[in-house]
Amino acid sequence: MTPTWPDHLFLVGCGNMAGQMLVRWLDCGLDPARVTVLRPSGRPVADGVRVVTAYPAALPAGTTVLLGMKPYQIADVASSLAPLCVADTRIVSILAGTTLAELRDRFPGPRAIVRAMPNLPVGLGEGVTALFTDATTDAAARAAIDALIQPLGLAEWISDETLFNRVTALSGCGPAFLFRFADALARAGEAIGIPADQAARMALATVRGSATMAARASADAGDSPATLADRVASPGGMTREGLNVLDADDRLLTLLTDTLAAARDRGEAMARGE
């Protein structure tokens, strides 16, 4: 499917996450001439992308604004940016902990405002982005923003804004947890006698191949990762013995539940200013 691009894309900030999003959009054919990045440092972003250090006098018609700065900067950004935003300006915010109500209070002009929570694999087109908006954002604007997000990977609209810290714990923080698992798998291989460099390569390749297999099996036949695990594990075999350790007393499930809950709780505390 050919992506549908906004007439103009204005990025406020272009750090790690916003930068990955922009890289992917450019790779998928977004014309860099359609993009302006506000970056106080003035450092270049990509060939053909205009970088400015101050707000323009006006935004082009049909502009989509991506709020990609640090959340604590919202008040300063809104004081300068809000007067430039008209009814047909679309705002996509990736600011953790900044609610839709706060965004609408700070940007009263635009009808379409969407909260988004991407994760880092968006730069590869393999990311997950949770999205939320309200009834003020009409169907056409929602579809346009959905089309913008699709090249980044999986776009998941959530119906309840209170889920944001929970989905952030799962998919936003999830890559770090998976990286930690891959590292632990490699170190465990080393612990049982595999040379460290080989264990590291084999662990990464195993994670990558297994994730691809799980995604295809889910798409093609609706098979879950749990089903695939049981298919790999022959009764009385090596895999089953290893799974018995992970499954005992739901220890892996308990560990991951505690991990996600800790991340969720920290997100909620940050939203309270703690």
The pLDDT tens digits of the residues spanning 26-52 come to 999 999 999 999 998 999 999 999 999
Task: Tell me the C-alpha to C-alpha distance, in Å, between residue 155 and each of 146, 176, 187, 266.
Answer: 7, 20, 34, 24
Lowest mean pLDDT among 3-7, 10-14, 132-136, 260-264: 3-7
End-to-end CA distance of the chain: 43
pLDDT at residue 58, rounded to an integer? 95
In this structure, the strands spanning 112-118 and 90-93 are: parallel
Please determine, for residue 1, whether its predicted confidence score (pLDDT) is greater than 70. no
| CA 19 and chain centroid, separation | 12
Q: Is the dihedral of CA 165, 68, 91, 32 positive or negative?
A: negative
Q: Is the dihedral of CA 263, 265, 268, 274 positive or negative?
A: negative
**Structure tokens given for 207:** 């994670």
**Structure tokens given for 273:** 């200013």
Using DSSP's 3-state secondary structure scheme, residue 89 falls into: coil
Contact between residue 95 and residue 113 where contact means Cβ atoms under 8 Å apart: no
For 134-139, what is the mean pLDDT? 95
The pLDDT-based confidence of 271 (bands split at 50, 70, 90) is: confident
Computed over every residue of the chain, the mean pLDDT equals 94
- For residue range 85-136, what is the model confidence (pLDDT) as tens digits? 999 999 999 998 899 999 999 999 999 999 999 999 999 999 999 999 999 9
The pLDDT-based confidence of 225 (bands split at 50, 70, 90) is: very high
| CATH (residue range 8-164) | 3.40.50.720
List, in sequence order, every beta strand (DSSP E) within 62-214.
63-67, 90-93, 112-118, 127-132, 153-157
Burial of 75 (0-12, 13-18, 19+ CB in 10 A): exposed
Residues 19-58: b if buried by 16+ CB within 10 A, e if exposed: bbbbbbbbeeebebebbbbbbeeeeebbeebebeeeeeee
The pLDDT-based confidence of 215 (bands split at 50, 70, 90) is: very high
Contact between residue 89 and residue 63 where contact means Cβ atoms under 8 Å apart: yes
Phi, psi of 273 (to 5 degrees): 80, 20
pLDDT at residue 4, rounded to an integer? 83
pLDDT at residue 207, rounded to an integer? 96
Contact between residue 263 and residue 173 where contact means Cβ atoms under 8 Å apart: yes
Range(s) of the chain covered by CATH 3.40.50.720: 8-164
For the chain, what percent of residues have pLDDT higher than 70? 99
| CATH (residue range 172-271) | 1.10.3730.10
pLDDT at residue 3, rounded to an integer? 77
Range(s) of the chain covered by CATH 1.10.3730.10: 172-271
Which residues touch 212 (CB under 8 Å, ≥6 apart)?
none
Please determine, for residue 143, whether its predicted confidence score (pLDDT) is greater than 70. yes
